[in-house]
Structure 1
Amino acid sequence: MSLWSSFRGRRKEGQKDGMGGSAQPPKQDYEALKNRCLRNGCLFEDSAFPAVLSSIGRGPLLRKLPPRLQWRRPPELHSDPQFYSAKAKRLDLCQGLVGDCWFLAAVQALTLHQDFLSRVVPLNQSFTEKYAGIFQFWFWHFGKWVPVVIDDRLPVNEAGQLVFVSSTYKNLFWGALLEKAYAKLCGSYEDLQRGQVSEAFLDFTGGVTVTIKLAEAPGNLWDILTRANYGRTLIGCQTHSGDERVLENGLVDGHAYTLIGIRKVTCKSGPEYLVKLRNPWGKVEWKGDWSDSSSKWELLSPKEKIVLLRKNDDGEFWMAFKDFKAHFKLLVICTLTPRLLSQEVGQTWSYTMQEGRWEKGTTAGGPRKSLRDTFWKNPQFLLSVWRPQEGRTFPMPCSVLVSLIQKPRHKHRNWNSLLAIGFYVFRMSKFYDDQRRLPREFFLKNDPLSSPKDFLTEKEVSQELWLEPGTYLIVPCTSEARQASEFVLRVFSRKHIFYEIGSHSSVVFSKEIEDQTAGQDESFTKLFEKYPEINAAQLQKILNHMTWSSLGRAQPLFSLDACQGILALLDLNASGTVSIQEFRELWKQLMLYQEVFHKQDIHGSGCLNWAQLQAAMGDAGIVLSGDVCQLMLIRYGGPNLQMDFVSFVHLMLRAEKMEDVFQNLTRDGKGIYLQKPEWLMLALYS
């Protein structure tokens, strides 16, 4: 008897929570629902996103559906259904009847990074072990990672073929279920029609998305693309506007693609720059130079031709970089840190997020148009930027990235009309300690340092700024006054404080670190009055008597050995002690590590696994490859390959110190030359 047939005839288990009228996903306890189904011997049926036509949509998509549409679970569709297989080719998904190429292009980019994928798609789910017809996915939803629970009933035609996303491996279903979860988040399958790759990238990572108009691309675009392709990035692109019509050259207008590779090749006439793309349809390819049937391949050596050329109608193809720039409109790059935007070496980025609201009649002040406008009523955010370490020479000025995201006002994605949004940046000549909102007079007397070139009707607008250390004011607004919406404002830089003026909301990340440091400063001062320098034993006593607010019940216990290791990293003059200035800097770093550790330790276990460790280090600005991260887990983690907070602190301090060492020794930012004593010092030090 098959697993599926053993469930036939048993009663259903539903869930009363509905979608509600807001844009927030319903709150459903995955573990509780699954355990209830297992206990009652039934399969989950999600009444919050039921197997009915309204979950598909109410408009033109219904007319595309095959007659006698059915909803079936994977065990009904295949004798050996699998959720995910690491052995299968990653780019195996094909678009269905929904016009969601933007979503699928982003998903396929996601599959190129196992740690990114496993954050969105828990890969340990299956149709065998404790199967209850219920699955869970995670999305970054306006500043928070939120779970979305679904049942596994999928729409199929009369022949049992999936109507929407499918896999070239007929027994794999993670892609179809991910699309269903995203449809639930957006309101319906029809709400996935039309979109930008950047929107899906943001929902999959919460990262920094940069959109480059290829007609206005910078001269170093190939260098940017090279750094992106070999970094922790997702890359997509879109052709010029259209109705997804196949052109004579094989491209599809109004269509999104995934960029999956780049290559510089050598021909008899000189170097050629190539990009490799994938069509989410899983078919229909470019027909020009360097396509599968192009004669250009004869210009390469036989070995290079064998490596690069695959004559399959699978939607994957190469094309010349110059043709790519001519035939595509947008290049979209998403990275978890803004390092792509800056070529500085040895950077550590901090991240701050604030939520705000434009309200009619109060804070929806509109743009800065005239001396009589209401611009000054908009929400105001204070940003203080400084160099990471005083007394050190760093490239000037500081790189700061600002991202403004508007929240939807309706649970159905396509029922929301996006507002045209932007933000202004002003330089502050003094710090306003009273934290009162700046009056109209300030904006009459001061011109903005940066203002929107255009207000854009996009979910997210972002800009990289180069700011001298100091205090600034950021004012987000809409293109017209009295337009109401909620928004998320994010700042990425090396070090900063960021909070809303006149708001009682708590300041998170970098500002919270400052607050916690300030709260402890009096006790620190008293301690160092008694002991001008503290040793490892005293450091151990301090750290073990602190309250680590974000870690909850999993309070860390620092051993003497761990504290000796920390001192060795901080103690530059080999005295075996640290001063109050060095300790204050350490405390700020510990508060940052606490935040990123807590962010990734979603189950509150007090430990990080491989994917969580790599993500936490990325959040703190240290980007490691998967292999190196695995080695770090073996070196610094426990026997079960889990890393606790104390070990994480030790690893992060060492990684940051080694980045500083590299920056001090390198001359060109690419490599270093070491004499034997220096090599021995580094080898023993690490």
Structure 2
Amino acid sequence: MSLCSFLKGKSPGPHHTSFRRESFGRPYQQPHQDYETLLERCLRNNCLFEDDSFPADMSSIGKGPLLQKLPPTMQWKRPTELHDNPVFYSTKAGRLGLCQGVVGNCWFLAALEALTFHWDILTRVVPLKQSFTKKYAGLFLFQFWHFGEWVPVVVDDRLPVNEAGQLIFLSSTCKNVFWASLLEKAYAKLSGSYEDLQIGHVSEAFVDFTGGVTATIQLAKAPSDLWDILVRVSSRRSLLGCQTHSGERVLDNGLVDGHAYTITGIRKVTCHNGPEYLVRLRNPWGKVEWKGDWSDRSKKWDLLNPKEKILLLRNDEDGEFWMSFHDFKFHFVSLVICQLTPDLMSQEGGKKWMCSLSAGRWVRGSTAGGRLRHYRDTFWMNPQFQLTVLSADEDKRSSNLCSVLVSLMQKSKSRHRNQMHHLPVGTFLFRVNKLWEGNHRLPQEFFQKTTPLFVPRDFQTQREVSYEFFLEPGTYLIVPCTSEPWQESEFILRVFSRKHALYEMGSNCSFVLPKEIVDRYEGEEKFFTKLFEKNPEIDAIQLQKILNNMTWTHLSSLQPTFSMDACLGILALLDLNATGTVSIQEFRCLWKRLLIYQEVFHKQDKYKSGFLESGQLRAAAQEAGILLSDEVCNLMAIRYGNSNRKIGFENFVYFMLRVENVEEAFRNLTQDDKGIYLLKSEWLMMTLYC
């Protein structure tokens, strides 16, 4: 359990390594608002819901350039005040009857219009049984896939309008339909404000709507079989979007620079002089269309037989148009494909896929090692994930290549999505032989001797990057990293294939235990299991007996003696539920840390005196993943050292456990990595606890 959760009075759970890692620096969490409870309360009190967490005022709009686009007399009105017969959703409104407002969120709207092609996914994001008549209480529910889980978002139905009662932001061509306007408000709430929707990528909205995996193809470097790829993904459950070249103007040809479009269809047609390949697109503005070949008024349509022309051509100013595949590749800069089932660009159809998801982090001085080419000495510190690709066929001897899709997504700790600074990230892939197999992290030696199977061509500054591999059954190592060392962020690693196993190698610390220590831990694990069979929880007295009867093989001949005060202090740091005892899960976590502390203490105790000086203390802490200044180390030598300011192993353990807790507490409480604000009760709890 994180200290932040402890300060807020949440019930603690088992304290084990993976739990601590995933609770570290979690993304901003929406305030918990239970839709059914709120609805029942409003109906019982005969009142309309007002959302204090996303109020009808300028704080929900934002503070940036969007303010300049607002009308001087903006008001907030409910749909029941704007129309005599408001409806939440109507099939009569048409699939693409949406129009962008003054928010520069064409990327969001392009993704939303692609979503309308998939009824089952749309109804998951937008529960359609809501209405303005039956059980109406002024609140509506939406769901988004947010960093690995589906998150419900509740909003009230107060929407910004101008003095004529017209919606300022997203609207429907059917003026009494409001599902899309309320969905935009819910997404703005999830993102922090309407202002936070001003800049974005269609790939982000695709993922937030579906939980799928996106791939971006730069059309200037598109593969020769791009049309075949489009045919395959269009015939499956895929969402397609694209982006024009940078700029902010409407071109003479009708396209808009720096704009996102939805791909709504593709078609191969037969002209008098041979086949023609066409792409249908839609401008989220609901107007302003392409004016070149195959546009609504192009004479190219006369080259088709009357049946095809009637079937394809719709001469309406609705923002939707056709263009040739050649013109599409020339005028657009990128193509985004979101696959709902991750057989991305593969030939295997109708086969089930499985997904593994793991959360991780890059921490300065600990697990942020940078890329391999320029930072070979620190690359090994990056998080490592072992991937075992199993044969998807019943015949275990089959060596057919398996399609494996790897997605790396950066997580945000800020409430506002536009304050998330995406780092340049990438993923390396290695083949692992039997010599290196095991659950411990692979050492620097492995990366010095092993050539990676895959090296990212470039490190992309995007929220998510994905790769598709075709691998033989076997064991592999996935190493996600930032382009430079010491860059900090959290991430989600997702792996899709027909059959695989994925788990993180070793602990969150950058220090790699020698094999003999790992073997020793595994042997003593059996002893601990037997011990806790008799005593499900141990107290400070039992903890002292265990620690003082252990053989510390990598320390000097002077074996450490843990005092009762030290054991009480250690137990207090582990005992988050204030029972005065620790469970086997908590003790296992402690024992792993002790083995690491033993190794770094032994390494820095160069004279085998059994003590560390201030400079050695700093080096040992850094080896274990904690960066400390000289001033802090000098103070710690005074606080935890003897009269000569030298620290023995017992006090080193106590010090390291405390500094790790304080480090984690700061990261959980800070919003900008510079400072924190605490209530008096929280400050007292933290100082007394840590």
Asked if Structure 1 and Structure 2 have the same fold, meaning a TM-score greater than 0.5 normalized by the shorter chain, the answer is yes
Aligned to 2:60: 55
The counterpart of 2:474, out of the listed 442, 463, 470, is 470
The counterpart of 1:303, out of the listed 307, 310, 313, is 307
Is 1:382 aligned to residue 386 of structure 2? Answer: yes
Q: Is the 8 A contact 2:103 2:197 kept in 1?
A: yes
SS of match in other structure, 2:33: coil
1:227-376 correspondence to structure 2 within 5 Å: 227-243=232-248, 245-370=249-374, 373-376=377-380
Deviation at 1:345, TM superposition (A): 4.6
SS of match in other structure, 2:206: helix
Aligned partner of 1:169: which letter?
C
Q: Is the 8 A contact 1:55 1:188 kept in 2?
A: yes
Q: Is the 8 A contact 2:216 2:335 kept in 1?
A: yes
The counterpart of 2:505, out of the listed 472, 478, 501, is 501
Aligned to 2:178: 173
Aligned to 2:36: 31
Q: Aligned pair in 2 of structure 1 residues 113, 370: CA closer, same or farther (>3 Å)?
A: closer
Q: Deviations over 1:173-192 (max 9, x none)?
A: 00000000000011000100
Deviation at 1:503, TM superposition (A): 4.0
Aligned partner of 1:39: which letter?
R
Aligned partner of 1:31: which letter?
E
Is 1:148 aligned to residue 153 of structure 2? Answer: yes
Aligned to 1:391: 395
1:79-90 correspondence to structure 2 within 5 Å: 79-90=84-95
Aligned to 2:121: 116
Tell me, which stretches of 5 or more residues in structure 2 are unaligned?
A: 1-24, 510-690
Aligned partner of 1:349: which letter?
W
Q: Is the 8 A contact 2:399 2:473 kept in 1?
A: no
Distance in 1 (alpha carbons) for counterparts of 2:298 and 2:105: 30
Distance in 1 (alpha carbons) for counterparts of 2:106 and 2:213: 21
Higher relative contact order, structure no. (Cα contacts within 8 Å, ≥ 6 residues apart):
2
Larger CA deviation: 334-343 vs 132-141: 334-343
Distance in 2 (alpha carbons) for counterparts of 1:394 and 1:326: 43
SS of match in other structure, 1:339: coil
Q: Is the 8 A contact 1:367 1:478 kept in 2?
A: yes
Distance in 2 (alpha carbons) for counterparts of 1:63 and 1:80: 32
Q: Is the 8 A contact 1:371 1:444 kept in 2?
A: no
Distance in 1 (alpha carbons) for counterparts of 2:224 and 2:453: 25
Q: Deviations over 1:174-222 (max 9, x none)?
A: 0000000000011000100121111100101111211111111111111
Q: Deviations over 1:225-257 (max 9, x none)?
A: 1112221111111111112x1000000010000
Q: Deviations over 1:319-359 (max 9, x none)?
A: 11111111011111111122232113553211111000111
1:508-527 correspondence to structure 2 within 5 Å: none
Distance in 1 (alpha carbons) for counterparts of 2:45 and 2:270: 65
Deviation at 1:432, TM superposition (A): 5.1
Aligned to 2:450: 446
Distance in 1 (alpha carbons) for counterparts of 2:143 and 2:326: 38
Larger Rg: 2
Distance in 1 (alpha carbons) for counterparts of 2:67 and 2:375: 52
Deviation at 1:431, TM superposition (A): 6.5
Q: Aligned pair in 2 of structure 1 residues 277, 346: CA closer, same or farther (>3 Å)?
A: closer
Q: Is the 8 A contact 1:21 1:411 kept in 2?
A: no
Aligned to 1:492: 496
Aligned partner of 1:76: which letter?
E
Q: Deviations over 1:448-494 (max 9, x none)?
A: 11111111100001110111111011111111111111100000111
Q: Is the 8 A contact 2:286 2:318 kept in 1?
A: yes
Aligned to 1:566: none
SS of match in other structure, 2:366: coil
Deviation at 1:88, TM superposition (A): 2.1
Q: Deviations over 1:125-144 (max 9, x none)?
A: 11010000001100000110
Q: Aligned pair in 2 of structure 1 residues 433, 319: CA closer, same or farther (>3 Å)?
A: closer
Q: Is the 8 A contact 1:338 1:401 kept in 2?
A: yes
SS of match in other structure, 2:388: strand
SS of match in other structure, 1:340: coil
Q: Aligned pair in 2 of structure 1 residues 39, 479: CA closer, same or farther (>3 Å)?
A: same
Q: Is the 8 A contact 1:351 1:490 kept in 2?
A: yes
Aligned to 2:580: none
SS of match in other structure, 1:447: coil
The counterpart of 1:196, out of the listed 198, 201, 204, is 201
Distance in 2 (alpha carbons) for counterparts of 1:273 and 1:246: 25
4+ runs deviating over 6 angstroms: 392-395
Distance in 2 (alpha carbons) for counterparts of 1:315 and 1:224: 25
Q: TM-score w.r.t. structure 1 length?
A: 0.69
SS of match in other structure, 1:104: helix
SS of match in other structure, 1:177: helix
Distance in 2 (alpha carbons) for counterparts of 1:409 and 1:429: 37
Deviation at 1:433, TM superposition (A): 6.0
Is 1:212 aligned to residue 198 of structure 2? Answer: no
Aligned residues: 485
Q: Deviations over 1:66-117 (max 9, x none)?
A: 0110000000000000000123211010000000000000000001110110
> Cα RMSD over matched residues?
1.7
Aligned to 2:628: none
Q: Provide the identity percentage.
A: 67
Q: Is the 8 A contact 1:227 1:340 kept in 2?
A: no
Deviation at 1:364, TM superposition (A): 1.3
Aligned partner of 1:207: which letter?
G
Distance in 2 (alpha carbons) for counterparts of 1:38 and 1:216: 57
Q: Is the 8 A contact 1:224 1:340 kept in 2?
A: no
Distance in 2 (alpha carbons) for counterparts of 1:34 and 1:358: 41
Q: Deviations over 1:537-559 (max 9, x none)?
A: xxxxxxxxxxxxxxxxxxxxxxx
Larger CA deviation: 47-56 vs 329-338: 329-338
Tell me, which stretches of 5 or more residues in structure 1 are unaligned?
A: 1-19, 506-686
SS of match in other structure, 1:435: coil
Aligned partner of 1:226: which letter?
V
Q: TM-score w.r.t. structure 2 length?
A: 0.69
Deviation at 1:265, TM superposition (A): 1.1
Distance in 2 (alpha carbons) for counterparts of 1:345 and 1:31: 40
Deviation at 1:375, TM superposition (A): 1.1
Q: Aligned pair in 2 of structure 1 residues 401, 57: CA closer, same or farther (>3 Å)?
A: same
SS of match in other structure, 2:168: coil
Aligned partner of 1:164: which letter?
F
Aligned to 1:419: 423
Distance in 1 (alpha carbons) for counterparts of 2:155 and 2:475: 46
Aligned to 1:106: 111
Distance in 2 (alpha carbons) for counterparts of 1:389 and 1:299: 49
Aligned partner of 2:189: which letter?
K
SS of match in other structure, 2:84: coil
Q: Is the 8 A contact 1:408 1:416 kept in 2?
A: yes
